[in-house]
Amino acid sequence: NVFNCPLNPPDALFALAGRYKDDDSAHKVDMSIGAYRTNEAKPWILPVVHKTEELLVNDPSVTHEYLPILGNPEFRKVAAKLILGDKVDLNTVATVQTLSGTGANHMAAVFLRRYTPWGKKSNTIYVSDPTWANHHTIFSYVELDIKKYPYWDAKTKALDFEGMYSTLKKASAGDIVLLHACAHNPTGVDPTREQWEKLASLIKEKELFPFFDCAYQGFASGDLDNDAWAVRMFIDRKIDMLVCQSFAKNMGLYGERAGALHIVLSDATPETKAAIESQLATQSRAEISNPPAFGARIATKILTTPSLFDEWRRDIKTMAERILDMRAELKGELVRLGTPGNWDHLTSQIGMFSFTGLDPKQVDRLVTEFHIYLAANGRISMAGLNKNNVKYVAKSIDTVVRQ
């Protein structure tokens, strides 16, 4: 090839999901990508989303015209309110509609490459070890310098808070710190409120810039406000920050790419908001011209119609509770089988994922021998479990753990 470009390996997670699709075993189980599934292992269009789609399709004022470059104005407001709450004057928050959470991460990363906080010339972003694999891809793609802070302690199967705190203590002013707002991906382990408070104090004192990624609001506790607690506490403390927001998981709008990036500065004015948004608009125009309309329209309708909003909250609870049931059932089965090891973390972890602690060899056997598809780091998407396959999955885990 004239470019002399090498062959990149396929994305590990999407390749895994592809292998699951191609597998014709009757026993196959998909616990790869974090996407909600029903008890019948089927994708779920949230009933509230289905209802809203019908309303939109029959609404003569809905067209397929371009959105403004920054996105749907109403969506930008209500999306900001959903995550930031009443803590901040939205007239000072810079918001751009993005291609879901990934687009928000990318937009934020490009912006931070061009503009650094407080004139500090940092190019460094600290990410949890481990983090969502795509964080590495997104940040290295725009040549941010990625450093890791300890997060998962494999021995205790819990948060290594001391490691995280002492590493961030050594960071330099202006460095960016990626934080998962709730339901950490891939570990399912979040800091306690007390630990969050300590992190907020450290970040403020050291002039670090928090980069919140919020892809699972509603999935950690089943309650939207509760899951926004850490973000809002940072705002209360007047810490400058940005938030990447996705509606892929909590509205099940995976392929519609509805999300937003919010930049929240403690001393912001309508003028600073305008300046930042003008930069985001130029970026967005250069890359996608303007964002896709349909997903954001669904989200806006749900967020602005009280009866639909209530129904959405019930749908979120349905998803969160089925996942909780599956955590309990998987752990119960492993305990019943006497599978070596302690499995308490399966029920203490939260959100869509569990970090099982299975090693790469055990994972490989689960995939190749048992047709159970999970990420190489041992992460399982709990939504792939159901009443029909949980016994099979537990028995298979039991087999690979023993041999």
Please count the residues of the chain.
403
Distance of CA 324 to the CA centre of its chain: 18
What mask, x for binding ligand LMR by CB under 6 A, covers residues 99 to 138?
Answer: ---------------------------------x-x----
Q: Which helix (H) or strand (E) covers residue 107, if one does?
A: helix 100-114
- Is 385 near ligand LMR (CB under 6 A)? no
Q: What is the C-alpha separation between 208 and 289, in angstroms, rounded?
A: 32
State in angstroms the smallest separation of the CB of 173 from ligand LMR.
31
Q: What is the C-alpha separation between 269 and 274, in angstroms, rounded?
A: 9
Q: What is the C-alpha separation between 110 and 141, in angstroms, rounded?
A: 10
Question: Is 8 exposed, middle or buried (CB count within 10 Å of its CB: 0-12, 13-18, 19+)?
Answer: exposed
Q: Check: CB of residue 176 under 8 Å from CB of residue 212.
A: no
Query: How far from 185 is each of 74, 135, 351, 394, CA to CA, in Å?
Result: 29, 11, 8, 22
State in angstroms the smallest separation of the CB of 381 from ligand LMR.
6
- Is 34 near ligand LMR (CB under 6 A)? yes
CA geometry: angle 53, 56, 60, nearest 5 deg: 155
Hey, is 275 helix, strand or coil? Answer: helix
Q: What is the DSSP pairing of strand 372-373 with strand 29-30? A: parallel
Q: Of 32, 53, 83, nearest to 250 (Cα)?
A: 83
Which residues in the 242-271 window bind ligand LMR by CB under 6 A? none
- Is 17 near ligand LMR (CB under 6 A)? no
State in angstroms the smallest separation of the CB of 134 from ligand LMR.
5
Residue nearest to ligand LMR (CB): 34
Of 32 and 339, nearer to ligand LMR (C-beta) is 32
The residues that bridge with 149 in the sheet, in sequence order, are: 128
Q: Check: CB of residue 20 under 8 Å from CB of residue 30.
A: yes
Q: What are the structure tokens assigned to 303, written together?
A: 């967020």
Q: Check: CB of residue 185 under 8 Å from CB of residue 351.
A: yes
Of 101 and 117, nearer to ligand LMR (C-beta) is 101
- Is 13 near ligand LMR (CB under 6 A)? yes
Hey, is 318 helix, strand or coil? Answer: helix
Q: Check: CB of residue 149 under 8 Å from CB of residue 168.
A: yes
Which residues in the 158-197 window bind ligand LMR by CB under 6 A? 185
Catalytic residues: 132, 213, 215, 249
The residues that bridge with 29 in the sheet, in sequence order, are: 372
State in angstroms the smallest separation of the CB of 16 from ligand LMR.
10
Of 13 and 125, nearer to ligand LMR (C-beta) is 13
Of 34 and 292, nearer to ligand LMR (C-beta) is 34
Q: Count residues binding ligand LMR (CB under 6 A).
A: 6
Among 33, 142, 281, 288, binds ligand LMR (CB under 6 A): 33
Q: Check: CB of residue 176 under 8 Å from CB of residue 139.
A: no
Of 99 and 171, nearer to ligand LMR (C-beta) is 99
State in angstroms the smallest separation of the CB of 43 from ligand LMR.
14
Of 34 and 222, nearer to ligand LMR (C-beta) is 34
Q: Check: CB of residue 64 under 8 Å from CB of residue 293.
A: yes
Of 353 and 370, nearer to ligand LMR (C-beta) is 353
For 231, what's the count of Cα atoms within 13 Å in the CB-facing half-sphere?
35
Of 124 and 134, nearer to ligand LMR (C-beta) is 134
State in angstroms the smallest separation of the CB of 47 from ligand LMR.
23
- Is 233 near ligand LMR (CB under 6 A)? no
Q: What is the binding site for ligand LMR (CB under 6 A)? A: 13, 33-34, 132, 134, 185
